[in-house]
Amino acid sequence: MLSFLQIKIYRGKFIAYSLFVLLIGIILAVMTCAVLLQQWVENVRNEVSNVFAQVNNNLQYDVDRIEAFMQRIYSNSGLMADVRYFLGNSAEGYLTSRLQDSRYNQPLISFPEDIKSFLSDGGLGDIVQVSLHTVQEGNVVRFDKNGNTSFQFRLPNEHEAFYETIQKGFVYRKKLSNPNQISNQLGEFRFLIGSEKIFSFIPNDQLYAVAAVKNSNDLYLATGRNNDLEQLVHRAAADNRSHGLLSNGYLNHAFFVTQPSTMFDYQLVSIVDLTLLVQQKKNTIILVLLIVLAAMISVMLLIIYNLREDAHFLQQIIHTIARVKNADFIPIASPRYRRYEYGMIAKELDEMRHQLDKHIRIEYLLKLEQQQTEMKALQNQINPHFLYNTLEIIRSFSLMNRANDTADAIAALGGLYRGIVKNENIITIKSELDLLQKYLEIMEFKYPDQFYYQFNVDETLLSLPTVKFWMQPLAENFFIHGFQADHHFNLLIVNGFEKEHHIQLEIVDNGKHIANDHLAEIQRTLVIKQDNSSTSIGLRNVYTRLLFFYGNNFTMTISNNEQAGVKVSITISKEAIKDVQTTYRG
């Protein structure tokens, strides 16, 4: 199977292809794993965003309840009175004051019990501590994990119970004002929303850790407990980016996301252990690597197959060359065309030989046919009726003893035929105009005082080469189809002028118009080159001769003039003029 490795060029190709496939496979595997890893990290990031939203929702819910509770205090005079008894008093003073002002016919309202039932869900809610402060001291109501209530009275405001750390929770402050005089501040409420309560819904997932960090670098780890994690959280909090990568060793990297809170002074930091993430997703990564490996093996098998076939092809070529060197031309079985490349090449070479032979034969036949066509065109273009009519005119002149006119007519006819017979097939435009002029002089004899002609051709065009005898058939068309014998003024004009990219020759008459449908048919016949057309032979021969001479760099259009007559326009590209001048000079 690997016999092609004995050939140096295919051995080099095999090594190059193998390295290329290996490189592409590695790049593909790395890119696929990177995309998957990015998707997994994005999923974790979305989960963290949901956690942050849930924390904010919980905090907003507690703040709303606190605001509602404050409204409850201000709207309930009994509750407001009990709050004022509680403010700045000792336990005995608080109990004595509330008992002295109590009435036997009204229930005794307890500020701490109202907090527990209304604000703290029986002590089991997120609010774990409520303190009421004067300028110097404060009284505290606490709720433990079991919902039990405890009190501390007259603690200094600097007491550790009032330290605002993220480990304890989030402190929400509200001023307590005199309801009868709002500007008179009686004290301050401080509601402590416990961090453990707020973050209790977060599962302790080993994949990522969640922490709340205050601007003072105070830290609360909602999940995970180790010193390395705390360092990563502090590094992430100090980073100016909202997310990114952190290195915690040579191969240990973590992805972090930070989300600052607009409600409290903290930001939520989430750390994703990428090493652990890869370990959790290892089955997916292995599957991706196996797919890439299978693709690489498939490509390598295809390369080996192709190289083997190429080597076999080369051996067949060498064998064929050896047979030719030994003059061994005995036919052998043709190789299979669809299976081996050398069969395709052999078939194409044989087809090329046939096509070349066919091309040579066709070119030779085309040359002969072209000469016959040109001779036939000349014969068709020189209308026998013109010759008979001209001779009849000369005979009539002779009978009327108009010797001078007869001599001129004979001289014009002789000059015309000498130009046709003796000149080469390629002449100048000036010589072509001379031939046309001789023909028109003869037509002046035929239609005395009825026909006039005029040449308006720039002198710069007179020396340009052209094919011989194409203007006369266009003029003859006028006398056959457009000349009006009952008119006293029949005119034929030849214009020639030069433009920026081409030269233009026009043969214009004032005879009859061509019907529009017939005109379209004539133009179509010229374009599609219908050799079997029985109409417009002269026009078609002219078009064919000019096409053969100038190629596709010329156009021939036939149109009716606005007033009367027909205009035949020949437009020739200057590139074509340059080419035919070079050929003509050669």
Residue type, 123: G
Positive or negative, the Cα torsion across 95, 99, 102, 106? positive
Report CA-CA distances (Å) from 576 to 333, 473, 553, 571, 580.
50, 23, 6, 11, 6
Please choose, from the candidates 338, 328, 67, 6, the residue with its C-alpha nearest in 3D space to the C-alpha of residue 189.
67
**Helix, strand, or coil (residue 556):** strand
Indicate if the pLDDT at residue 583 is higher than 70. Answer: no
Between these two residues, 230 and 174, which has the higher pLDDT value? 174
pLDDT in tens, 113-164: 888 888 877 767 889 999 999 999 999 999 888 878 899 999 999 999 898 8
Beta strands in 371-530 (DSSP E): 426-428, 451-457, 465-467, 490-498, 502-509
Please choose, from the candidates 288, 294, 295, 297, the residue with its C-alpha nearest in 3D space to the C-alpha of residue 35.
288
Please choose, from the candidates 190, 278, 173, 269, the residue with its C-alpha nearest in 3D space to the C-alpha of residue 230.
269
What pTM was computed for the model?
Answer: 0.50
Report CA-CA distances (Å) from 183 to 70, 179, 180, 186, 397.
16, 9, 9, 9, 140
pLDDT in tens, 344-354: 665 554 555 44
Between these two residues, 97 and 108, which has the higher pLDDT value? 97
- Residue 557 binned pLDDT confidence (cut-offs 50, 70, 90): very high
User: By the 8 A CB rule, do 512 and 484 touch?
Assistant: yes
What letter does residue 109 receive in the DSSP assignment?
P
Please choose, from the candidates 197, 82, 194, 72, the residue with its C-alpha nearest in 3D space to the C-alpha of residue 129.
194
Q: Report which listed range, 373-377, 382-386, 417-421, is most confident.
A: 417-421
Between these two residues, 391 and 530, which has the higher pLDDT value? 391
pLDDT at 292: 92
User: By the 8 A CB rule, do 430 and 462 touch?
Assistant: yes
Mean pLDDT check: name the lowest of 136-150, 188-202, 213-227, 278-292: 213-227
Share of the chain above pLDDT 70, in %: 75
| Those residues with Cβ within 8 angstroms of residue 117's Cβ, 6 or more apart along the chain or in another chain | none
Average pLDDT score, the chain: 80
Across the range 100-109, mean pLDDT stands at 69
pLDDT at 332: 56
pLDDT in tens, 522-542: 888 877 655 544 456 678 888
Report the C-alpha dihedral over residues 144, 150, 154, 159, rounded to 10 degrees: -20
pLDDT in tens, 34-73: 898 888 888 888 888 888 889 889 899 999 999 999 999 9
Rounded CA separation 131/139 (Å): 5
- Residue length, the chain? 586
The phi-psi region of residue 269 (left if phi > 0; otherwise alpha if psi is between -120 and 50; otherwise beta) is: beta
Crossing angle of helices 8-75/77-86, nearest 10°? 100
Phi and psi, residue 242, nearest 5°: -80, -20
Parallel/antiparallel/unpaired status of strands 451-457 and 490-498: parallel
> What domains can you pick out in the chain, each with its CATH number?
76-198 (no CATH), 382-585 (3.30.565.10)
pLDDT at 419: 64
pLDDT in tens, 425-461: 788 999 999 989 988 988 888 888 899 999 999 999 9
- Residue 406 binned pLDDT confidence (cut-offs 50, 70, 90): low
Report CA-CA distances (Å) from 318 to 6, 204, 331.
15, 74, 17
Please choose, from the candidates 557, 551, 571, 567, the residue with its C-alpha nearest in 3D space to the C-alpha of residue 523.
557
